[in-house]
Each structure stands twice: as C-alpha cells, then as structure tokens.
Amino acid sequence: MIKRVTFRNLWLPYLLLLPQLAVTLIFFIWPAVQALYQSLLVEDAFGLSTEFVWFENFEALFSDPLYLDAFVNTVVFSFSVAFASMSLALLLAVMADRTIKGATAYKTLLIWPYAVAPAVAGVLWFFMFNPVVGINAYLLRGLGYDWNHYLDGGDAMILVVIAASWKQISYNFLFFLAGLQAIPRSLIEAAAIDGAGPFKRFWTIIFPLLSPTTFFLLVVNVVYAFFDTFGIIHATTEGGPAGATQILVYKVFSDGFIGLDLGGSAAQSVVLMAIVISLTVVQFRYIERRVEY
Amino acid sequence: MFNSKMIIAGMAGAFALSMASEAIAATEIQWWHAMGGRNGELVNEMAEGYNASQSEFKVVPVYKGTYTETMTAAIAAFRAKQQPHIVQVFEVGTATMMAAEGAVYPVYKLMEDTNTPFNQDDYLPAVVSYYTTPDNKLLSLPFNSSTPVMWYNKDALEKAGVTEVPSTWTEVFDASQKLVDSGMKCGFSFGWQSWVMVENFSAWHNIPMGTKENGFAGLDTEFVFNNDNVVNTLQKIADSSEKKLFQYGGRRGESLPMFTNGECGMWMNSSAYYGSMVQQAKFTFDQTMLPLNTDVADKAQNSIIGGATLWVLQGKPAAEYKGVAEFFNYISSPEVQARWHQETGYVPITTAAYELSKKQGFYDKNPGTDTAIKQLSLNTPTPNSKGIRFGNFVQVRDVINEEMEALWAGQKTAKEAMDTAVERGNALLRKFEKAND
C-alpha cells in the first residue's frame, strides 16, 4: 500500500511540485506549442518572410506517397528493433543468470555497446557491411548472398535494424538480468522438484514474473526506435536506397535540418508526437492490464 | 625580497599583458567553415597569414562540421542574431542564401561600400558565373571549387587492350567491356550521381536541366531533366550494369575504394579526390575529361563546379566589413590561391593563380591536375552550363539520388525514375517559391 501523506499547508504541495512543473513547461510543453505553431507556417530558412497557411503543410504531407511509405518503414523498423533487441537480450540474460565462471567480465562486456554513441554504432555496422570493403559483406558473398545495402532496400533495412538493436541489447540485458535475479530461487527449485523441465519453468514461472520488466522495456524500446535512431540511420543509409530506410523521425530531421523546410518538418513532428501519445495510451490501457506486478 | 629576476619577470608579464590587450584591440572577424583535416589546417594558415599582414583585424576561423551543418548553424545563429561575419556555404545552398535578401551582404556591394579594389574579371568565368546575379554581379566569393572528371586506371586499360583513353560514352562502354573481359569486376562507376550524371551531364552537353536559365532568372522555374538525352544515357548505363560494365557504389565518394582497389577501371567523380588517389591507388592512374554522348552533342560545352563559396552576413558594425573585404582580397591573391589549389586539388579561382601554378611547374610535375580547370574553361558558359540555382536543392538532390537508386536496382526504368524525380522536384521548387516570394 502507498502511504498517503496529507499536507496541512495549502501552498506547500504546490511549491514542492513547482520545479517539476517548471521543467515540464520549459522543456516539453513550450517546445511542443512552438512546433504546433511552426507547423502552420511556411517560412524561409532565415526567418525573413513568414506566411500563415493553416493546414497546408499537413495536406502536403498526407498527399505525399513517400510520407506514407515512411509510416510503413517506421512500423517495420520499430517492431523489428524491439523484437530483436528484447529477445536477444532475454536470451543473454537467462544465460548470464546462471552461475558461471567470470560472470562479471561477461556481464561487463555485454553492457559495453550501450556506451557507444548511436552515430558511432551506425558507422561501425556500416563499415562491416559495406559492400565494397566490409568484412561481413565479404563473408556473406562467400556464402552466396550478394549483400548490397546501397541498392537493395531489404538489405538496408536489415542493416539499420541490426545497428539499432545491437546498441539496445545491452540496456535490455541489464533490466532482464535484474528482473531475473529478483525472482525467488525457491519458486524455481520447487518447480524443479515437481519435475518441470527448464522450458516449462521458464514459460510458466520466469517469463510471467518478468512481465513488468518486459512491458517497461517494450515501451522504452518502441520510444527508442521512434525517436533515438535517426543518428544510426544518418550514419548508415541516410534513409536510402530509394527511401527504403526513411523512417518518420529521420524524415523530420532531414527535411528540417538538412532541407531547411521548417514548416513541413514541424508538421511531421506534430504527427509523430500524436502517434507516440496514442501509442503510449494504448500500451498503458491495454497491454498493461496483462502485466502482473 | 626584491631581486632583479623578479623585476624582469614582472616587466615581462606587463609586456605580455600589453601585447595581449593589443591583440584584443584588433577587431575580430568570425569565419565559419566546413574544412576538416588537412584543408582545415590550410584554412587556419590563411587566417594567420592575413592576421600577420596587418594589426587592425583578426580573422578567427571556426570549424563547424559538414557543409550542411555549417550552413544550418549559420542560419540558426542568424535567427538568434549571433551570426558570424563570413560563412562557407556549399553550392547547393546558393539559392537559399541568394533568396535571403537582407541576410546576406553581396560581395560586389561589400567591395563597393568599403572602397576595396576588386575586379570580377580576375576570376575564372566558369567559377564566378555560378555565383552571380542574372546581371552578372558577384554575390559570394568563390573559395573551394571542383568539378567532376573521369579517373582511369592506366595499367588496367593497357592490360585490357584499350589503346586510347575513352572520350565518348560509346568508347566508355567498349572499354568497360574489354576491362570486364580482361577479368575486372566492373568497367566503371561514379559517385555524387546527381551532380555528375544529371547536373554536369546537362551542362557538358549544353542542354538545360530546368527552365529559366537553370533557375538563375527566377524562382518560377521547372525541371526538365527528364528529357530523352538524359533518360537514354541513364537507361544505357542501367542496362550495362547487367553485363557488369557499370556498378553502383553509393551516393557520394563511397565507391572510391572500388576504383582504388582495382575493381573498376574508370571512375567519374570530383577532381578533388586527387589527394586520396595519390595515397590509395597502387597503380598508375590519370584523369581525363568527362565522356561525351555524341548522340546528344557534337562537342563538349563546359562542366560546372561543386564546392563552396564564402558568404558575408549582414548585421555587423560597418567598420568590421572593411576587414572582411580586405581579407577577401588577401585570400584571392595569386600566391595564397595557388598554394590552396596545389595542396587541395580544388581549382584555382583566379586566372592569376592558374598562371602562377603553371609558372611554378605544378602541372608538369603532376600531370592531369589541370583537367578540371581545362574542363571548366573549355568554352564561355552558356545559360545551360553556367551553373544551377534551384531552391530546396539539397532535398532535390536527395530526390534525384533516390530515383536513380531505384533505376540501378531495376525497380524503375530511366524514364519512370526521371519523370518522378522531376515531379517531386517541382513540388519542392513550388514550396521554395512560396516561402520566398
């Protein structure tokens, strides 16, 4: 049970809330309002001439077939990243949870990739899979697969998913491992005595008990794939070839910061904001119900 | 406890202080640029050279990242009223800068206002024409310009039995076939494909890429690069990739290793790759002019440049612009320019610097290094080969890149790809027109 604290003084609770409210206002609400306003304007790069155009930027956006492609790409990309990074992290965490020799070193190594900046991770994978000089592309060619992410949209998508997931595995691993270690040994031992095999134990006891962690990670990973990955895309494929890896957040970045189309970019970020708000609502309303704390 | 050592130390300190305050007294001129590595060192050297030549101004070069980053940083700074005096902007940003009347200080006007001697005719026409108004007034100072050339692997061509260096597209295809037959992985490749294969292809064959003098004569311009000449050439290249004659290797310079590893025999890209070639290629290589498509034109016109220029931003005290003008004069001097040209592989921006490099014997010692400048000054630029000035061109280049990739991947024909590129490009032009009218 949460302990309820009653404040006698009417002003004190507000005063205590003030710093948090100020931070929210300055860093979230104000920029969001700015983006909303900007999305209704057509403006040149220097801000010398501004015209209020109502919803023209949005109309242009939704009549652009490429924007709809970016939607599909985003869904494919975020689902793949969340799935790949979480399942691999869970596998690694389950293995690291056993008592093995040199577990600390093993765990430390697994956490390392998280410290790598997204752009660096992108460049790293870009080099390994580079069709001209990359070692992985060379090995794949040896296996009879002609890897070329400059030309093949599918290859490019796989590349950015690998690069984006690789970084996130460490983070997920940490949480899964902590979750696993919080499960009482006695439960698992009891099940083992009752004759349940490792798989049965995992699916009926461990995994359900991990569900709060899994849910938390699902939210974090989807938000990560939606917002934090433009550095990776920029460093590996720049949204290409032929727009195959153009995801929504990268389009916001490239239209706004490279193309200097501020109105269009703002309109896109408003759409993105709406998507993430509704995703969060769906997650907490429907998926959270299945989570047992 | 005074002793003579302390007194001397104190005097030295006071002297240093007075020197420092003198240095502070010099008016600082901020110069934001995108030249990293060796080029960045040369930029610093230029500033130091100028600072040492007089005491009134002090030019401070600041490296701001890539071209795009430098430009967006300067624009953001302008909006925050913290802009630098000088900013280096790449050629595709020209239309954006030019449309920003009230934000930029045109170079011709700067020179007039500050009474600085300045003769526009000293500069190479093909370089300067990219950055002038329709009535031939210079807007920004040419600084680092390059142009695409065709690099070729001399050893490989000899081995394949190609006796003459290809100068037409037919010859390029023939030579590529021979190269592949002799065991090479591919005949030719290129990078910066919008710049090389659309923008320069059009200029080289004296055909327009867009209406209104390629955008120089007004914002209400439209693209026309989906014409038969461009489409047929691109389709031929795409078809030749089935026979491994052409292999695509990325949007910019990513395909360089394909050439320097000896996988492809010919490579069309910027003349500014000279330094990398010298470092990486383990065979004899050379550069020659871009190939001509004889179905399109009988003789080559001239190629157009890439690279960047220096723009001056408004909003600083009038006295400081005198320093900017003098600095521009200094870096345009033949000695400074010739050194810059020879060290970097960019073309010399003035005729005097070109002549000086000739006199110094640079081209005799480094054969082929004057291909770029010859290509640029082959003929007097026409409205089709003067350059291009399209709004939102950074995005348009991405559009062209995307559509060309779809072509190389076999998803679209050249006609479909170019039609879509024109349609999408025109939408971006209209958007730019709307934002800037």
At B1 the pLDDT is 41
Measured between alpha carbons, how far is B149 from B165 in angstroms, rounded to an integer? 13
* Chain A residues with beta carbon closer than 8 angstroms to that of B99: 44
| Distance from the B333 Cα atom to the nearest Cα atom in chain A, whole angstroms | 32
Contacts of A166 (CB under 8 A, 6+ apart): A85, A113, A121, A125
Measured between alpha carbons, how far is B88 from B32 in angstroms, rounded to an integer? 6
pLDDT at B36 over 60: yes
Taking an 8 Å cut-off on Cβ atoms, the answer to whether B96 and A261 are in contact is no
- Residue A131 pLDDT level (bands cut at 50, 70, 90): confident
This prediction's pTM: 0.81
CA closest to B406 among chain A residues: A242
Total residue count of chain A as it appears in this document: 293
Cβ under 8 Å to A: B residues 376-405: 392, 394-395, 398, 401-403, 405
| Residue whose structure tokens are 């999305």 | A39
Measured between alpha carbons, how far is B263 from B270 in angstroms, rounded to an integer? 19
Beta strands at B57-63 and B27-33: parallel, antiparallel or unpaired: parallel
DSSP classification of residue B292: B
- Percent of chain B with pLDDT strictly greater than 90: 62
At B408 the pLDDT is 93
pLDDT at B5 over 80: no
At A62 the pLDDT is 87
pLDDT at B31 over 90: yes
Pair A104, A214: CB distance under 8 Å: no
pLDDT at B411 over 60: yes
At B2 the pLDDT is 46
pLDDT at B9 over 60: no
At B299 the pLDDT is 94
Among B97, B312, B402, the strongest candidate for a mutation testing the A interface, having the largest count of A CBs within 10 A, is: B402
pLDDT at A231 over 60: yes
At A286 the pLDDT is 79
Contacts of B205 (CB under 8 A, 6+ apart): B229, B292, B293, B296, B297, B300, B301
Kindly compute the dihedral angle of the four CA atoms of residues A189, A193, A197, A198, in this order, to the nearest 10 degrees: 10
3-state secondary structure of B47: helix
Measured between alpha carbons, how far is B86 from B11 in angstroms, rounded to an integer? 38
CA closest to A66 among chain B residues: B424
| Distance from the B405 Cα atom to the nearest Cα atom in chain A, whole angstroms | 6
- Residue B8 pLDDT level (bands cut at 50, 70, 90): low
- Residue B247 pLDDT level (bands cut at 50, 70, 90): very high
At B21 the pLDDT is 47
Measured between alpha carbons, how far is A223 from A214 in angstroms, rounded to an integer? 14
A243 at interface of B, judged by CB pairs closer than 8 A: yes
Measured between alpha carbons, how far is A156 from A76 in angstroms, rounded to an integer? 13
Contacts of A172 (CB under 8 A, 6+ apart): A85, A86, A89, A90, A93, A217, A221
Select from A132, A238, A259 the Cβ nearest to the Cβ of B255: A132
At B296 the pLDDT is 93
Lowest mean pLDDT, pick from A155-169, B18-32, B46-60, B376-390: B18-32
More confident residue, B11 or A55: A55
Taking an 8 Å cut-off on Cβ atoms, the answer to whether A242 and B402 are in contact is yes
- Cα B100 to chain centroid, rounded: 21
Q: To the nearest whole number, what is the mean pLDDT of chain A?
A: 86
Structure tokens at A168: 């996130």
- Cα B149 to chain centroid, rounded: 13
- Residue A101 pLDDT level (bands cut at 50, 70, 90): confident
Pair B387, B305: CB distance under 8 Å: yes
Measured between alpha carbons, how far is B347 from B341 in angstroms, rounded to an integer? 6
pLDDT at A130 over 90: no
* Chain B residues with beta carbon closer than 8 angstroms to that of A260: 72, 75, 96, 392, 394
- Residue B210 pLDDT level (bands cut at 50, 70, 90): very high
Structure tokens at A193: 């005595």
Structure tokens at B131: 């950055």
Instruction: Render pLDDT for B326-375 as a digit per residue (tens, 0 to 9).
Output: 999 999 999 999 999 988 888 888 999 999 999 999 999 988 889 999 99
| Distance from the A36 Cα atom to the nearest Cα atom in chain B, whole angstroms | 18
Measured between alpha carbons, how far is B259 from B409 in angstroms, rounded to an integer? 21
Kindly compute the dihedral angle of the four CA atoms of residues B325, B328, B333, B337, in this order, to the nearest 10 degrees: 180
At B6 the pLDDT is 53
Overall average pLDDT of the A85-92 stretch: 92
Pair B300, B121: CB distance under 8 Å: no
- Residue A84 pLDDT level (bands cut at 50, 70, 90): very high
B82 at interface of A, judged by CB pairs closer than 8 A: no
At B230 the pLDDT is 96
B99 at interface of A, judged by CB pairs closer than 8 A: yes
pLDDT at B228 over 60: yes
At B414 the pLDDT is 96
Lowest mean pLDDT, pick from B2-11, B270-279, B311-320, B362-371: B2-11
Here the contacts of A54-63 (C-beta below 8 Å, separation 24 or greater) are A57/A263, A57/A264, A57/A266, A57/A267, A58/A267, A58/A270, A58/A271, A60/A264, A60/A267, A60/B427, A60/B431, A61/A264, A61/A267, A61/A268, A61/A271
Instruction: Render pLDDT for B110-166 as a digit per residue (tens, 0 to 9).
Output: 999 999 888 888 998 888 888 888 788 899 999 988 999 999 999 999 999 999 999
- Percent of chain A with pLDDT strictly greater than 70: 97
B413 at interface of A, judged by CB pairs closer than 8 A: no
Overall average pLDDT of the A43-49 stretch: 79
Structure tokens at A214: 């899994």
- Spell out where B217-362 has E strands: 264-270, 285-288, 306-312
Measured between alpha carbons, how far is A214 from A87 in angstroms, rounded to an integer? 10
- Residue B3 pLDDT level (bands cut at 50, 70, 90): low
Overall average pLDDT of the A239-244 stretch: 81
- Cα B382 to chain centroid, rounded: 19
* CB pairs < 8 Å spanning A and B: 96
Q: To the nearest whole number, what is the mean pLDDT of chain B?
A: 89
**Closest to B166 (Cα-Cα) out of B187, B190, B138, B196:** B187
Lowest mean pLDDT, pick from A230-234, A240-244, A275-279, B292-296: A240-244
Beta strands at B186-190 and B264-270: parallel, antiparallel or unpaired: parallel
User: Phi and psi at residue B132, in whole multiples of 5°?
Assistant: -110, 160
* Chain B residues with beta carbon closer than 8 angstroms to that of A239: 398
Instruction: Render pLDDT for A260-277 as a digit per residue (tens, 0 to 9).
Output: 788 888 999 999 889 888
Select from A44, A130, A254 the Cβ nearest to the Cβ of B99: A44
Instruction: Render pLDDT for B293-324 as a digit per residue (tens, 0 to 9).
Output: 999 999 999 999 888 999 999 999 999 999 99
Strand order across the beta sheet in which B86-90 lies: B57-63, B27-33, B86-90, B306-312, B141-146
Measured between alpha carbons, how far is B142 from B137 in angstroms, rounded to an integer? 13
Measured between alpha carbons, how far is B246 from B186 in angstroms, rounded to an integer? 6
The enclosing H or E element of B153 equals strand B148-153
| Residue whose structure tokens are 């050629």 | B91
DSSP classification of residue B145: E
pLDDT at A102 over 80: no
CA closest to A263 among chain B residues: B435
- Residue B221 pLDDT level (bands cut at 50, 70, 90): very high
